[in-house]
Chain A
Amino acid sequence: MFYSLNVNTEMSSEGTIITVKNLVKKFGNFTANDNLSFDVYRGEIFGFLGANGAGKTTAMKILCGLSAPTSGEVSVAGFDIYTQSELIKRNIGYMSQKFSLYEDLTVYENMRFYAGIYGMKRKDIKSKAEAMLLNLGILDYKDKLVAEIPLGWKQKIAFSISIFHEPKIVFLDEPTGGVDPLTRRQFWSMIYDAAHRGITVFVTTHYMDEAEYCDRVSIMVDGRIAALDTPIELKKQFDVSTMGDVFLKLAR
Chain B
Amino acid sequence: MFSINIQNLSKSYGDVQALKNVSLSIEHGELFGLIGPDGAGKTSLLRILATMLLPTSGTADLEDCDVVTDYKKIRKMIGYMPGRFSLYTDLTVEENLQFFATVYGSTIEENYHIIKDIYSQIEPFKDRPAGKLSGGMKQKLALCCSLIHLPKVLILDEPTTGVDVVSRAELWEMLKNVKNHGITIIVSTPYMDEASLCDRVALIQDGEFMSIDTPQAIVDNFEFKIFEVRTANMHKLMADLGEITFVESVHLFGQYVHVTFKNNDVKSDKLNSVLLDKKHSEIEIREIKPNIEDCFIHLMSTQK
Contact = CB atoms under 8 A, between A and B. Distances in A.
Interface of A: 1-4, 50-54, 150-152, 174, 177-183, 185, 188-189, 192, 196, 206-209, 212-213, 231-232, 242-244, 247-248, 251-252
A189 to B, nearest CB: 8
Interface stretch (B95-103, B159-167, B213-221): B159-167
Contacts of A252: 166
Nearest to B295: A181
A26 B134 CA distance: 17
Contacts, number: 98
Given A179-B37, A185-B251, A212-B255, A206 B239 contact: no
Nearest to B292: A181
The binding surface of chain B is classed by DSSP as: mixed
A51 B166 contact: yes
6 contacts: A3-B235, A53-B134, A53-B135, A174-B162, A183-B37, A209-B254
B74 to A, nearest CB: 28
Interface of B: 36-40, 134-136, 161-167, 169, 190-192, 205, 233-235, 237-239, 251-255, 257, 293, 296-297, 300-301
Contact of A179 (B38, B135, B163, B253): B38
A136 B252 CA distance: 19
Contacts of B252: 2, 185, 188-189, 213
Contact of B39 (A52, A151, A181, A231): A151
Contacts of A242: 254
A192 B251 contact: no
B235 A178 contact: no
Contact of B255 (A3, A179, A192, A232): A232
Given A51-B164, A52-B163, A181 B239 contact: no
B164 A251 contact: yes
A177 B135 CA distance: 17
A176 B176 CA distance: 28
A31 B42 CA distance: 39
A29 B237 CA distance: 51
B37 A178 contact: yes
Nearest to B169: A248
B163 to A, nearest CB: 6
B254 A181 contact: no
A206 B38 contact: no
Given A180-B205, A181-B297, A212-B255, A251 B166 contact: yes
